[in-house]
Amino acid sequence: MAEFVNVPVQTIQENQNALFSGETSCCNKGLVLHRTGSGQFTVRGCTQNCRAKYRVIFSGNIAVATGGTAGPISVAIAINGEADLSTNAIVTPAAVGDYFNVAMATDVWIPKGCCVQVSIKNTSTQAIDMQNANITINREG
């Protein structure tokens, strides 16, 4: 299991990734790789089977960023840069700075010997603020 956090408020532009500055637990087997301050996680398909299964779980608080317009905003788990729309979490703040908590999870299957990039992407049409971001990547099988 690997868990990464970013507690301070960060502004994420449209179609950009949330950044993670800290980790609470890292993968000692080298299956999940992350550079501090980056928004991408490399997840490796090291397995004796045809593919490896990982569970990716995200939670955090999001709001319309200063200078934005109150309305729907969203984030999703992205695999190799493409948002997994089944994880798209949409909220509609009534005002700039109104935070909502969002959470999502998905299974990621990685072929033996391959890697994928996992990230949390702003799928909104405007910049958002994110606080208390937390991502956990668990090897399931």
Q: Tens digits of per-residue pLDDT, 40-95?
A: 999 998 888 899 999 999 999 999 999 999 999 999 999 999 999 999 999 999 99
Q: What is the Cα–Cα distance from 99 to 130, expressed in whole angstroms?
A: 8
Q: How far apart are CA 55 and CA 140, in angstroms?
A: 6
Domains and CATH numbers, the chain: 2-139 (2.60.120.40)
Beta-bridged to residue 75, according to DSSP, are 89, 122
Amino acid (one-letter) located at 121: K
pLDDT of residue 58: 98
Q: 3-state SS of the chain: helix, strand, coil percent to 5?
A: 0, 55, 45
Bridge-based pairing state of the strands 89-91 and 100-111: unpaired
Rounded-to-integer distance, Cα 127 and Cα 69, Å: 10
Q: pLDDT for 96-140, tens place per residue?
A: 999 999 999 999 999 999 999 999 999 999 999 999 999 999 998
Q: How many CB atoms lie within 10 A of CB 82?
A: 11
Please tell me the predicted confidence (pLDDT) of residue 25.
Answer: 60
Residue 33 has pLDDT above 80, yes or no: yes
